[in-house]
Structure 1
Amino acid sequence: MAKQSIFGRISTLMKANINALLDQAEDPEKMLDQLVRDYTNNIADAEAAIAETIGNLRLLERDHAEDKQAATEWGNKAIAASRKADELRASGDAVDADKFDNLAKVALQRQISAENEVKTTAPQLAAQNEVVEKLKSGLNGMKFKLEELRAKRSELLARQKTAEAQTKVHDAVKSINVMDPTSDLGRFEEKVRRVEARAAGQQELAASSLDAQFESLDDLGELTEVEARLAALKAGGQPQGQLGS
């Protein structure tokens, strides 16, 4: 029952579904810190209760040792009183001899009483020692669990921060993909291509105008030659051919 009462106060914590609690918690880090504090406080309460139990055990051990010592001392007193009675009776002093025999009987009664106390407390001591050992073992287990809880807390917080960092990176990458700068470059490139095409068109148009001018010069040359030949005919001469006679 002692073991049950001491560890009963932490049974709820040990059986709690920590994952469910964390899922419901708005701030998992605060929840984990609270679990560590609660478990640490429970260990402190268990230590105080176990210390009290051990103290009671030591008192019982001391009483047991004192009862054993008292049984031995009363036995020695009974022996001494009996011997003194025998000496007095041998010397003819029967009255005093009876007195010492009576003292020996009283001492024997006290010895028997002390021995009974020793016999009664012996199984109690054995049971109490067993309880204390179990309590110590349970306390060590609690301390080990506390270290596991602290380590798990650190691990979970590290994993949470890593996951948050990965989420931020993922969101940043998504933002970069949505706002792709190469799309702006593409639009600028298209604008450049249009400017280049317009310039090429202007050059082509300019070249066409120059060809037309040269063609006009050729036509002008032909008209000039016609006029010259016509003038020669009117003068009564023969028209000059380009090939000659």
Structure 2
Amino acid sequence: MGIFSRMSDIINSNISALLDQAEDPEKLIRLIIQEMEDTLVEVRSSSARVLADRKAATRRVEQLQAEADSWEQKAKLAISKGREDLARAALQEKREIEEELEAVSTELAATDEHIAQLNDEIGKLQAKLNDAKAKKKALVMRTQTVESRIKVKRQVNRDALDQAFGRFEHFERRMDNLESQLEVMDMGKDVAPSLAAEINALEQDEKITAELDRLKAELGGGESSKDA
């Protein structure tokens, strides 16, 4: 089933309104254009047949007019020869031909009106078809623009995410470095002292003890002098 039921539906259609109501405007505009093109082919075919009929009718009019003129000449000849009876018969033939000529002429006039109507309809249909094709082009460009914007937006979001992840990774590396520095500063604190270190500590302890004893002795000697 087509979108339009008759020629007037196409001519009076509001393509923009149809597209606004469609779930898939791009698909609908393709169908509209296809139906318009099919209808245009049909109308042009009908026009070709009507034009052919008009040519046949025109030839018939010319033929009948020639016959009517011929019978009139025969009637004149009969009168000039004093044969009024033959003149009447010739005029009767002419009258019958003129009646047919009138009918064919009326048919030809109607055909001309039909051709004018078809020509007008073809012009309007062609205008509608051009309008539909322009809307299709605009719709395709709009779709491409939207798709490009979506692609760019996705790329921007992707770049923003990449930058965020990059900053996070940089922060993690800094934290790793700081933690490593702290670990280095604590290195050796929990390691048992070596033998040389223990002996050295004992020597230091003996020196401190000897120095302490010396000081005590000096202090003790000083106090004895004061008592004496």
TM-score by length of 1: 0.65
Matched, 1:148 2:153: no
Displacement after TM superposition at 1:111 (Å): 1.7
Indicate the residue corresponding to 2:51 in structure 1.
61
Displacement after TM superposition at 1:44 (Å): 0.8
Q: Relative to structure 2, which stretch is displaced further, 115-124 or 150-159?
A: 115-124
Please tell me the residue identity of whatever aligns with 1:171.
L
Indicate the residue corresponding to 1:6 in structure 2.
10
SS in 1 for 2:128: helix
Distance in 1 between the 2:161 and 2:8 partners?
Answer: 53
Matching of residues 80-99 of structure 1 within 5 Å: 80-99=70-89
- Deviation string 1:195-216 (CA, Å, 9 cap, x unpaired) is 39x59xx9xx99x959947956
Instruction: Check conservation: 2:33, 2:132, Cα contact below 8 A.
Output: yes
Return closer, same or farther for 1:147/1:11 CA change in 2, 3 Å cut-off: closer
Instruction: Check conservation: 2:19, 2:28, Cα contact below 8 A.
Output: no
Q: Relative to structure 2, which stretch is displaced further, 165-174 or 48-57?
A: 165-174
Please tell me the residue identity of whatever aligns with 1:4.
S
RMSD of equivalent CA atoms? 3.7
Matched, 1:191 2:195: no
TM-score by length of 2: 0.69
Displacement after TM superposition at 1:39 (Å): 1.8
Matched, 1:162 2:152: yes
Higher relative contact order (CA 8 A, sep 6+): 2
The total of aligned residue pairs comes to: 201
Distance in 2 between the 1:61 and 1:49 partners?
Answer: 18
Identify unmatched segments of 5+ residues in structure 2. 215-228
Please tell me the residue identity of whatever aligns with 1:154.
Q
Indicate the residue corresponding to 1:73 in structure 2.
63
Identify unmatched segments of 5+ residues in structure 1. 22-33, 223-245
Matched, 1:175 2:165: yes
Instruction: Check conservation: 1:36, 1:149, Cα contact below 8 A.
Output: yes
Instruction: Check conservation: 1:9, 1:42, Cα contact below 8 A.
Output: no
Matched, 1:123 2:121: no
Instruction: Check conservation: 1:84, 1:97, Cα contact below 8 A.
Output: yes
SS in 1 for 2:82: coil
Instruction: Check conservation: 1:6, 1:49, Cα contact below 8 A.
Output: no
- Deviation string 1:136-171 (CA, Å, 9 cap, x unpaired) is 011012112212222222222222222222223323
Distance in 2 between the 1:185 and 1:100 partners?
Answer: 127
Indicate the residue corresponding to 2:93 in structure 1.
103
Please tell me the residue identity of whatever aligns with 1:186.
L
Instruction: Check conservation: 2:40, 2:122, Cα contact below 8 A.
Output: yes
- Deviation string 1:10-54 (CA, Å, 9 cap, x unpaired) is 5653233x7xx6xxxxxxxxxxxx543332122111111122122
- Deviation string 1:178-223 (CA, Å, 9 cap, x unpaired) is 4532222222222223439x59xx9xx99x959947956985xx8x
